[in-house]
Amino acid sequence: MNFAGGEPLLFAGLPAIVELCKQLGLTTSLVTNGSLLDEKAAAQLSGSLDICALSIDSGNHGQGQRS
């Protein structure tokens, strides 16, 4: 089960859903921009999340910003 689109970490119930999917035997993955991926979020997802992908649009601040 892949959690992506918008920013999945904005949803407070995400850790519980990821855990349920893992209990059902599903491979779990998350695509995040990383802005909300702190120690607390990592701890909540630890053990239930198989893959965590970071979406990085640019290494240059301001590049890709809309005018």
pTM, rounded to two decimals: 0.81
Starting at the earlier edge strand, list the strands of the sheet with 29-32. 2-3, 29-32, 51-54
Query: Quick one: pLDDT at residue 67?
Result: 59
- pLDDT for 4 beyond 70: yes
- How far is it, in rounded angstroms, from Cα 67 to Cα 56? 19
- How far is it, in rounded angstroms, from Cα 13 to Cα 43? 14
Which residues neighbour 48 within 8 Å (Cβ) at sequence distance 6 or greater? Answer: 15, 18, 19, 21, 22, 28
Query: Quick one: pLDDT at residue 13?
Result: 97
- List the domain boundaries for the chain: 2-54
Give residue-wise pLDDT tens across range 11-47: 999 999 999 999 999 999 999 999 999 999 999 999 9
